[in-house]
Amino acid sequence: MTLIRYQNPEVAWSLPFSRVSTLRDEMDQLFDRIFQPSLDLTRETQLMDGWTPVLDLYEDKDSLIVKAEIPGMKKEDINITLHGDTLSISGERKFETRTDTTGTYRAERFEGRFHRTFSLPVSVNAEKITASYSDGVLTIALPKAEEAKPKQIPVSVK
């Protein structure tokens, strides 16, 4: 079964060269998959470049919440900084020393340094930020600044 990307008919006729661009992108992806380096080379490159943990950022009425998956780390190896409206999470997952003499058949867990930086959508109260780490998940609670919280405006009747 082949998936074909939907093209809105009104847009497709007005942009005749957009289909050529899409075809080129699809061909590039195909060749990237065919000539993709082996797992060992990919892993080596990622170790040199670092790894990127996944995270969620969501908000409730009073705060922003960040949850980042960084399993296998010690709290001493995690750094969190706030500079203006930019939050940075960084750290290093240490390499395990392997003592087995049988060799490794598969090594897929990323080790080494990581760094995530992103802008926060609202102002936060830096003095009240808390962070906890449990079961491989880092949770950061960033209370919103008073000016960023929604305000209820009463309606008066005359």
Please report, for the domain that includes residue 125, its CATH number: 2.60.40.790
Q: Is position 26 within any domain?
A: no
Q: Which of 70, 33, 67, 36 is nearest to 51 (CA)?
A: 70
Angstrom distance (rounded) from CA 75 to CA 143: 22
pLDDT of residue 105: 74
CA distance 32 to 152: 53
Has residue 85 been placed in a domain? Answer: yes
Residue corresponding to tokens 């080790």? 111
Closest CA to 51 of 68, 65, 37: 68
DSSP H helical segments within the chain, as ranges? 9-14, 18-34, 39-49
Q: Is the pLDDT of residue 135 over 90?
A: yes
* Domain assignment of residue 87, yes or no: yes
What's the pLDDT score for residue 9? Answer: 56
Q: Is residue 19 part of a domain?
A: no
Which is more confident, 74 or 12?
74
Which residues have a Cβ under 8 Å from the Cβ of 114 and sit 6 or more positions away? 50, 51, 52, 53, 70, 90, 91, 92, 93
Residue 59 lies inside a defined structural domain of this protein:
yes
pLDDT of residue 154: 85
Residue 88 lies in a domain: yes
For range 33-47, the mean pLDDT: 48
Domain count, the chain: 1
| Adjacent-strand bridge partners of 116 | 89
Query: pLDDT-derived band of residue 43, with 50, 70 and 90 as boundaries?
Result: very low
The residue range of the domain holding 63 is: 50-94+111-148
Q: Which two tokens stand for residue 86?
A: 């930019």
Residue 89 domain-assigned (yes or no): yes
pLDDT of 102 strictly over 70? no
| Predicted model pTM | 0.62
Query: Does 60 fall in a domain?
Result: yes
Q: What pLDDT score was predicted for residue 42?
A: 41
Residue 90's pLDDT band (cuts 50, 70, 90): very high
